[in-house]
Amino acid sequence: MDGRSSYLTLGEKLCSVLFPLIGICEAVILGFVGCCGDLRRQPDRKFDYSFTDFVEISRNSPFTVNEVEALFELFKKVSCSIIDDGLIHKEELQLALLKTPAGKNLFLDRVFDLFDEKRNGVIDFEEFIHAISVFHPGASVEEKINFAFRLYDLRQTGFIEREEVRQMLNAFLLESEVHVSEAILEAIIDKTFEDADADMDGKINKTEWKEFVLKNPALLKNMTLPYLREITTVFPSFIFNTQVDD
Ligand SMILES: [Ca+2]
Ligand SMILES: [Ca+2]
Ligand SMILES: [Ca+2]
């Protein structure tokens, strides 16, 4: 990939396509203004990236060099928010995405794990770029489907189970401050499994997930679950098909 298909502006890409960045963008703009205002002026020992490195990173990603540089600015801001060490710790990701460093969030844990490919408890810039790449318009549908599957497979059993869908929905509803009744929640989960669990064994395997997503492309278009304000946008078929009122 050479990043030539960048017909969208960087801003559009950042804020409409890359789901973690929706939260990060907001957080950077609203929360971290002034946090590391001097970073650009000082030679920074924590970061040892030259223009050549950005070119190299760009070559191995769907991003243009300019985009890599923009993402680097973003990375710097998030990575200095709590511990100014050039790495993103879980609390920092949480602060950027959820506006609070405290508390346990299932979804965040899973996102962090997926970013932290080297599994050393921190996210470095290469890991950041690599994970974000999945949300690039140029990333393959296959990659997006796989990433979403791994995200939902909270316990990493190789299946998406009913309890996991419930937990994700709950986390999502909590973050987006949407309130639905238990009955609606059950109906949404029922409908999910009715539609997705083709062999009816009570869990969604990767093949079933793939079929399901291809039938409901909105699920992929917004791999954005916790950040969407409207649950109807995320799960349109469930809401519109549900028999339960309220
Ligand atoms: Ca840090
Ligand atoms: Ca890591
Ligand atoms: Ca199944």
CATH of the domain at 164: 1.10.238.10
Q: Residue 204 falls within a domain, yes or no?
A: yes
Residue 217's alpha-carbon distances to 18, 134, 138, 190, 205, in angstroms, are 16, 16, 16, 19, 18
Q: Residue 100 falls within a domain, yes or no?
A: yes
* Cα-to-centroid distance, 148 and ligand 1 (Å): 26
Higher pLDDT, 49 or 99: 49
Given a cut of 50, is residue 69 above it in pLDDT? yes
Q: Residue 50 falls within a domain, yes or no?
A: yes
* Containing structural domain, residue 102: 3-239
Given a cut of 60, is residue 237 above it in pLDDT? no
Residue 107's alpha-carbon distances to 32, 53, 103, 206, 225, in angstroms, are 22, 32, 12, 19, 10
Query: 179-185 contacts: CB < 8 A, separation 24 or more?
Result: 180/231, 181/244, 181/246, 183/244, 183/246, 184/242, 184/244, 184/246
Burial class (CB in 10 A: 0-12, 13-18, 19+), 164: buried
Helix ranges (DSSP H) in the chain: 10-12, 19-26, 51-59, 65-79, 90-98, 106-115, 125-133, 141-152, 162-176, 182-196, 206-215, 218-221, 231-234, 236-241
Alpha-carbon gap, residue 36 to 40, rounded angstroms: 8
Q: Residue 245 falls within a domain, yes or no?
A: no
Picking from 81-95, 104-118, 126-140, 150-164, which range would have the lowest pLDDT averaged per residue? 126-140
Higher pLDDT, 156 or 33: 156
Q: Mean of the pLDDT values across residues 72-97? A: 92
- Which chain residues have CB less than 5 Å from ligand 1, an ion? 79, 83, 85, 87
Higher pLDDT, 21 or 148: 148
Asked if 217 contacts 171 with a C-beta cutoff of 8 angstroms, the reply is no
Helix axes 141-152, 162-176, angle to 10 degrees: 90
What pLDDT does 144 receive?
A: 83
* Cα-to-centroid distance, 124 and ligand 2 (Å): 6
What pLDDT does 45 receive?
A: 65
Q: Mean of the pLDDT values across residues 161-178? A: 82
Predicted structure pTM score: 0.67
User: pLDDT band at 128, cuts 50/70/90?
Assistant: very high
Q: Residue 88 falls within a domain, yes or no?
A: yes
Domain count of the chain?
1
* Cα-to-centroid distance, 186 and ligand 3 (Å): 18
Q: Residue 246 falls within a domain, yes or no?
A: no
Tens-place pLDDT, residues 2-13:
443 333 333 333
* Cα-to-centroid distance, 245 and ligand 2 (Å): 45
What pLDDT does 176 receive?
A: 72
**Mean per-residue pLDDT of the chain:** 74
* Cα-to-centroid distance, 7 and ligand 2 (Å): 31
* Cα-to-centroid distance, 160 and ligand 2 (Å): 25
Tens-place pLDDT, residues 194-204:
999 999 999 99
* Cα-to-centroid distance, 195 and ligand 3 (Å): 10
What pLDDT does 239 receive?
A: 31
Ligand nearest to the CA of 193: 3
Give me the sign of the Cα torsion angle 145, 56, 77, 123.
positive
Picking from 85-89, 99-103, 229-233, which range would have the lowest pLDDT averaged per residue? 229-233
Asked if 115 contacts 127 with a C-beta cutoff of 8 angstroms, the reply is yes
Tens-place pLDDT, residues 180-225:
889 988 988 898 899 999 999 999 999 999 999 888 877 766 553 3
Q: Residue 105 falls within a domain, yes or no?
A: yes
Q: Mean of the pLDDT values across residues 162-190? A: 84
Ligand nearest to the CA of 83: 1
* Cα-to-centroid distance, 115 and ligand 2 (Å): 7
Ligand nearest to the CA of 131: 2
Ligand nearest to the CA of 75: 1
Given a cut of 50, is residue 23 above it in pLDDT? no
What pLDDT does 111 receive?
A: 86
Paired with 81 in beta bridges are: none
What pLDDT does 30 receive?
A: 40
